[in-house]
Amino acid sequence: MNIILYILDKGEIYVKSVCIKTNNQDIIEYLINTFEKLPINLCISNYKFKMYDNVIVHDMEKNENQFYEIVAIVLKSAIEKFYEKDIIYKCIKQNYFYLNDLEQEYVLKISHQIMNLPDNKIGYKNKLLKNLIQKYISQNKSILLDGFMNFRVQEYKELLDNIVEVSVVSFLELTSF
């Protein structure tokens, strides 16, 4: 692995990187493609160490707050793309098992429609998730995506549970005519 050090004008050394760990090749490709398309100066590398593939993002601008925010936004979109539907689906299966498969599918569709509403209508889901990620990566050098999703986003999962609950109520109201 190459270590990137930046010697600043006063002789200070600046290194700011985030390592994203996962074994999901679709997520790795998504992250690399998304980071490469950004109009900012980042260095992206991909290495396999021991158990995980790692996407390592290096800050080339020395703008720490902006760097963490950008990485958090990209990770948020990856989580929404690769984890969110499964979280909602599991919530429906676990809490609304009494609905048949077709009814559960309708609830899933309603949930996705609700999640496309502006943040202020659904409890600031986007801001909540971005802030959880940004806080974590600013305090840690690496993030294991599956572990983060299992143990660090309870507040986000509760918000998704509430969205599913609203979807079920909406579905039941629609079908009770």
Kindly report, residue by residue over 54-97, the tens digit of the pLDDT. Answer: 999 999 887 877 999 999 999 999 999 999 999 999 999 999 99
Task: Report residue 79 CA to chain centroid gap.
Answer: 3
Q: How far is CA 96 from CA 68, 87, 103, 106, 167, in A?
A: 38, 14, 10, 12, 11
| Confidence label for 13 from pLDDT (cuts 50, 70 and 90) | low
| Confidence label for 50 from pLDDT (cuts 50, 70 and 90) | confident
Query: Rounded mean pLDDT of 40-46?
Result: 91
Adjacent-strand bridge partners of 47: 54
pLDDT digits (tens, 9 = 90+) for 114-173: 988 887 777 688 899 999 999 999 999 999 999 999 999 999 999 999 999 999 999 999
CA distance 94 to 88: 10
Q: How far is CA 136 from CA 25, 29, 50, 69, 141, in A?
A: 23, 22, 23, 11, 9
CA distance 164 to 170: 10
**pLDDT at 7 > cutoff 50:** no
Give the predicted TM-score (pTM) of the model. Answer: 0.88
